[in-house]
Amino acid sequence: MILNGEEIILSLQKSKHLLGPDYTETLYSPRGEEITTKPENMEHCYYKGNILNEKNSVASISTCDGLRGYFAHHHQRYLIKPLKSTDEKEHAIFTSNQEEQDPANHTCGVRSTGGKQGPIRISRSVKSPEREDFLRAQKYIDLYLVLDNAFYKNYNENLTLIRSFVFDVMNLLNVIYNTIDVQVALVGMEIWSDGDKINVVPSGSTTFNNFLRWHSSNRREKIHDHAQLLSGISFNNRRVGLAASNSLCSPSSIAVIEAKKKNNVALVAVMSHELGHVLGMPDVPFNTKCPSGSCVMNQYLSSKFPKDFSTSCRAHFERYLLSQKPKCLLQAPIPTNIMTTPVCGNRLLEVGEDCDCGSPKECTNLCCEALKCKLKPGTDCGGDAPNHTRV
């Protein structure tokens, strides 16, 4: 794409483990009957990556309905969307001025329902193979999302819109947590379509306690490592989230999140922050430095997309892993793919394709057969890197 006169190349990879292998969706009939389904053959159109040759850049893109998503370039954040009045080939790119959209600093709350941690001390001289293997191992979190009735109504009770929004959020969440070798898989989404199952009120603490009781009594039926309630109402005192610290893998591993605004970047900033508390990370001062300029665990929350964890938060996470040894973190989901076949012509290099330059009319790559997404025989394309996606 051309941005301010400069060609931008997005290098994207298909997101893995976005959904758990047994992902389910639960709604309720008007009579209150629970209806749980396991959607199959859902299109996988979620990608993450960065801008080619740009350090600390980030991109989270969906191709489900044209190109849609978020990327950061030279410390400026951009959103891309297809133009509604076109055939999805024309897109609009605009800056995301988070500070202007969200001038007030928001806060979160932490409940010490999990294990306690004292002052952190990291000894670098004492190492063991077992410790190092545990710290280096890929880690997985099975996440269960509950959407309250207000959230459901905010999206006009449209499951397709809700699913698209939630999957976009999950993709962004993994952009953040992959930086500390944690993969978050959505194993279930429950929508309180017929009415809330608890009393959801503006008092975040009250809603948290109510959700904690509900979760403790229902967790065995809905196996997961951590649950978050996304609420369509506003909480009091500019508090947008509340979580149980040091609680992963336990019945108290929950968080409640204010999700009234239809802003996936702002929502994932809060979700990732609260999950950090669950993993033993504390708030950090607002002036703490992180490579991307915005720390996940900043004490003041805004709609600015955070990508990095500070050095102190990484140290707290390491201590939490070594002291609590949450076994559920090492239980990998069975590899699954929520798309059956790659799509030739979408300009994204997928499994089985040598290249993808778009439709025959769009393709300008002399080395690529647009209809087959294969390199033309007898051509020397050594310098034409087909693994990178040009948009």
Active site residue ranges: 274
- Coil/strand/helix, residue 318: helix
Residues 342 and 339: their CA atoms lie apart, in Å, by 7
The closest alpha carbon to 240, from 204, 265, 264, belongs to: 204
Phi, psi of 366 (to 5 degrees): -70, -15
CB 173 within 8 Å of CB 215: no
Identity of the residue numbered 145:
L
The closest alpha carbon to 321, from 144, 133, 142, belongs to: 133
Please report, for the chain, how many H helices and E strands are present, in that order: 7, 19
- Coil/strand/helix, residue 343: coil
What burial class does residue 153 get, using C-beta atoms within 10 Å of its C-beta: 0-12 exposed, 13-18 middle, 19+ buried?
A: exposed
Token code pair at residue 297: 């665990």
Taken in order 289, 301, 161, 84, is the CA torsion positive or negative?
Answer: negative
What are 227's strand-pairing partners? 144, 254
Long-range residue pairs from 287-295, CB within 8 A, at least 24 positions apart, any chain: 288/312, 291/56, 292/56, 292/58, 292/72, 293/75
- Coil/strand/helix, residue 321: helix
Residues 291 and 308: their CA atoms lie apart, in Å, by 7
The closest alpha carbon to 172, from 348, 15, 33, 287, belongs to: 15
Identity of the residue numbered 147:
L
- Coil/strand/helix, residue 77: strand
Token code pair at residue 321: 């892993």
CB 107 within 8 Å of CB 238: yes
Residues 243 and 265: their CA atoms lie apart, in Å, by 19
Phi, psi of 315 (to 5 degrees): -70, -40
Phi, psi of 312 (to 5 degrees): -65, -40
